[in-house]
Amino acid sequence: MLLGDMFGSYDTIGVNYSNLRKPDSRIELAISKALGPAETVLNVGAGTGSYEPAERQITAIEPSAEMISQRNTEAAPAIQGYAEKLPFDDKSFDASMAILTVHHWSDQEKGLKEMRRVTRGPVVVLTFDPFYPGPWLTDYIPELVELDQVIMPKMTDYEAWLGPVDISPVPVPHDCTDGFLYAYWRRPRAYLDPTIRAAMSSFWTLNTVSEGLERLERDLESGAWTARYSDLLGEEVCDVGYRLISTK
């Protein structure tokens, strides 16, 4: 499956997802460059259609009916299906993409090999390096580190499963419009908002975050957070561990 059982179902998590996870144009540009001149692109785990390049012919596949229902009316229609069993012939697409989704797949190796099978050109994956030194949020919720290392493929797995790859950091802008887990690295109060946390699957998995969030709130009120992480406040972008992987 695209969604592991440990995360419940995006038919629940996905409510209001499109409002909270708007694609960021700067990240969108990096993905578009990685896709190269491809005209036909398969988007696996397509969700609501974030980062699908409008100027290309998109085929989208997504398991969640809730996520499909939130796709923009101008977006390509989505097929309900799974990464591990793509319903396409070999080398059907110029390129394929999987954006912040691989960690939800029940068999990541099989899903990535399926992407390689159906793609003539580059396979592009936006993901997170689970062994990157965690951003400051993990100081408050260290369980995030363990969770990432359980659910995320190691960077070396991608070359083992896809063949030779380039791996590039994706710096996250301080005003990133896509509300993924570490997008709010310069906006710490956002993590105190349950509506914002609702669009982050990690918070649906962990049931031990309340103490860390309470400590974060206290540190924000006392000024301790600002004193500890003041070096971040003048930064426009930050490497918080996100990586763009593309086959050579």
Q: Which CATH number characterizes residue 9's domain? A: 3.40.50.150
Q: What is the distance in angstroms between the CA of the first residue and the CA of the last residue of the chain?
A: 27
How many domains is the chain partitioned into structurally?
Answer: 1
Q: In the predicted model, what is the mean pLDDT of residues 86-109?
A: 97
Q: Does any domain span residue 75?
A: yes
Q: Tell me, what's the pLDDT at 198?
A: 87
- Residues written for the chain: 248
CA pseudo-torsion sign 104, 67, 60, 129? negative
How would you label 13-26 residue by residue, b for 16+ Cβ within 10 Å and e otherwise? bbbebbebbebbeb
| Per-residue confidence (pLDDT) for residue 13, from 0 to 100 | 55
* Residue 1 scores a pLDDT above 60: no
Q: Give the separation between CA 240 and CA 201, rounded to whole angstroms.
A: 17
pLDDT tens, residue by residue, 17-52: 667 889 999 999 999 999 999 999 999 999 999 999
Which residues have a Cβ under 8 Å from the Cβ of 202 and sit 6 or more positions away? 144, 147, 181
Is 219 part of any domain?
A: no
pLDDT category at 5 given cuts 50, 70, 90 is: very low
Residue 148, domain member (yes or no):
yes
Higher pLDDT, 129 or 4: 129
* Cβ 98 vs Cβ 44: under 8 Å: yes
Q: Which of 34, 46, 98 is nearest to 75 (CA)?
A: 46
Check residue 6 and give its pLDDT. 39
Residue 96 lies in a domain: yes
Q: Which domain holds residue 32?
A: 5-133+144-178+241-247
Question: How would you class 176 by CB atoms within 10 Å of its CB: exposed for 0-12, middle for 13-18, buried for 19 or more?
Answer: buried
Residue 66 lies in a domain: yes
Triad 17, 81, 100: Cα angle to 5°: 45
User: Residue 188 falls within a domain, yes or no?
Assistant: no
Is 231 domain-assigned?
no
DSSP assignment letter at 39: S
Band the pLDDT of 115: cuts 50, 70, 90.
very high
- What pTM does this model have? 0.92
The answer to the question of residue 32 being in a domain is yes
Q: What is the mean pLDDT of the chain?
A: 92
